Amino acid sequence: MPSRANARTHRLITRAALALFTGGLTLAESAHAQSVAPARFVAPAEPANARWWKGNTHTHTTNSDGDTPPEPVARWYKQHQYDFLVLSDHNVFTDPVTLASLVDSTFLLIPGEEVTTAFGAASVHINALDITRVIPAPTGRSLLETVQNTIDAIRAERAIPHINHPNFRWSIDTTVLWRMKNDRLIEIHNGHPIVHNEGGGDSQGMEDAWDALLTRGKRIFGIAVDDAHHFQGEFAPDRANPGRGWVVVRTPSLSRRAIVEALDAGHFYASNGPVLRAVRATETALTVQIQREGDFKYTTQFIGPHGRLLGTDKSLTPTYTLRGDESYVRARIIDSAGRVAWVQPVFTTRFVERHP
Ligand SMILES: [Zn+2]
Ligand SMILES: [Zn+2]
């Protein structure tokens, strides 16, 4: 007859064996799943006859805290070969109708606003792209609620929201970014000098935050913008001058709705320097074609879940071939001046979109 202690030991051993067994099964199952179904890129549908259009979605004028009126601001972008521009004043609708003389087949103005609110010490700045009237800045009982109310107010107008400079005043970290809904665009590079793109200390840089969100299953795309305020006087690193970050959007036509919907769907790359000729994904490979400038040289990093470096390619047609376990792959093209182009994540069959 077993002692009470022996019986307990037996139960413990049985439980441990069961745990080992089921653990083993899980491992075997996942190994089986991997051998049966290696990851394949779910390549975004490429619109027919699509072209690349360069634009900036975040710029200020004297209608809020910029130093230059809307007309010369828009003219700066047109003269610098931008195809489109969003004037995004704080809580003001700078109506492009008044600038109609600048608009032609080569230059489009998309109406916008930087919906600007706060919760406590945290700044909540969210751009609204393609608006028809001013969107009043909402409030909320928490930071998350303030952010969500703002996104919802923008979506209710059929406009497209993008989350601005989350590290400005260290306002919005990944715990909040993860919990917000119905947002697809986040600034990973903002040209304003005091927005802390790179993070530091105990705060994540925006690219690391982006990978953290993608790794958890948030389908979110990274944009680069100017957030320009200063078109007068000296152009210097400590001033908010134009020309520091942009997006290049792939659509068949240069029209308001086509551009903002392509942004919301991730059909673009972001840059503060390198120019790309093409980004193509097949089921198993992601290839970028870089347009070489002068004698510049380039290094491309392919990045996957947890921000892991999956591969490096130093050619002008960098290619990444799927290993089979990736849930997404994105590319980062660095030129020999240190400037970067950010290719949007291409998701695979292993990516499971999750919501908080
Ligand atoms: Zn702002
Ligand atoms: Zn701004």
Residue 227 CA: which ligand is closest? 2
Q: Does the residue 21 lie in any domain? A: no
Q: Are residues 60 and 137 in the same domain?
A: yes
For residue 96, what pLDDT is reported?
93
The number of distinct structural domains making up the chain is: 2
* Parent domain of 111: 51-272
Q: Does the residue 18 lie in any domain? A: no
- Which residues have CB under 8 Å from 54's CB, separation 6+? 81, 82, 83, 84, 246, 247, 248, 249
Residue 66 CA: which ligand is closest? 2
Residue 229 CA: which ligand is closest? 2
Q: How far apart are the first and last CA of the chain?
A: 53
For residue 60, what pLDDT is reported?
98
Angle at 71 between CA 62 and CA 104, to 5 degrees: 145
- Tell how far the Cα of 210 is from the centroid of ligand 1, in angstroms: 19
What is the C-alpha to C-alpha distance for residues 92 and 337, in angstroms, rounded to an integer? 37
Residue 242's closest CA among 225, 264, 219, 259? Answer: 225
- CB 133 within 8 Å of CB 97: no
**Domain final residue, candidates 272, 300, 326:** 272
Q: Are residues 90 and 187 in the same domain?
A: yes
Q: Are residues 308 and 191 in the same domain?
A: no
Q: Which residue shows structure tokens 């970067």?
A: 340
Q: Does the residue 44 lie in any domain? A: no
- Tell how far the Cα of 197 is from the centroid of ligand 2, in angstroms: 14
Report the Cα 259 to chain-centroid distance in Å.
15
For residue 43, what pLDDT is reported?
79
Q: Are residues 310 and 336 in the same domain?
A: yes
Question: Is this prediction's pTM over 0.85?
Answer: yes
Q: Are residues 198 and 285 in the same domain?
A: no
- What is the token pair recorded at 18? 């069961």
Q: Are residues 194 and 280 in the same domain?
A: no
Residue 191 CA: which ligand is closest? 2
Q: Does the residue 350 lie in any domain? A: yes
- Tell how far the Cα of 58 is from the centroid of ligand 2, in angstroms: 6
What is the C-alpha to C-alpha distance for residues 83 and 13, in angstroms, rounded to an integer? 70
Residue 61 CA: which ligand is closest? 2
- Tell how far the Cα of 228 is from the centroid of ligand 2, in angstroms: 7
Q: Are residues 301 and 169 in the same domain?
A: no
Q: Does the residue 7 lie in any domain? A: no
Q: Which CATH number characterizes residue 235's domain?
A: 3.20.20.140
Q: Which CATH number characterizes residue 351's domain?
A: 2.60.40
- Tell how far the Cα of 19 is from the centroid of ligand 1, in angstroms: 52
One pLDDT digit (tens) per residue for the chain, 356 residues:
334 444 443 443 333 333 333 333 344 444 444 456 899 999 777 677 899 999 999 999 999 999 999 999 999 999 999 999 999 999 999 999 999 999 999 999 999 999 999 999 999 999 999 999 999 999 999 999 999 999 999 999 999 999 999 999 999 999 999 999 999 999 999 999 999 999 999 999 999 999 999 999 999 999 999 999 999 999 999 999 999 999 999 999 999 999 999 999 999 999 999 999 999 999 999 999 999 999 999 999 999 999 999 999 999 999 999 999 999 999 999 999 999 999 999 999 999 999 98
Q: Are residues 231 and 326 in the same domain?
A: no
**Domain final residue, candidates 237, 255, 272:** 272
Residue 165 CA: which ligand is closest? 1
Q: Are residues 168 and 250 in the same domain?
A: yes
Q: Does the residue 71 lie in any domain? A: yes
Residue 54's closest CA among 240, 228, 254, 256? Answer: 254
- Which residues have CB under 8 Å from 169's CB, separation 6+? 121, 122, 123
**Domain final residue, candidates 228, 254, 272:** 272
Q: Does the residue 46 lie in any domain? A: no
Q: Are residues 78 and 142 in the same domain?
A: yes
Q: Does the residue 75 lie in any domain? A: yes
For residue 36, what pLDDT is reported?
61
- Tell how far the Cα of 305 is from the centroid of ligand 2, in angstroms: 30
Q: Are residues 222 and 291 in the same domain?
A: no
- Tell how far the Cα of 227 is from the centroid of ligand 2, in angstroms: 5
For residue 28, what pLDDT is reported?
42
Residue 163 CA: which ligand is closest? 1
Q: Are residues 174 and 118 in the same domain?
A: yes
- Tell how far the Cα of 165 is from the centroid of ligand 1, in angstroms: 7
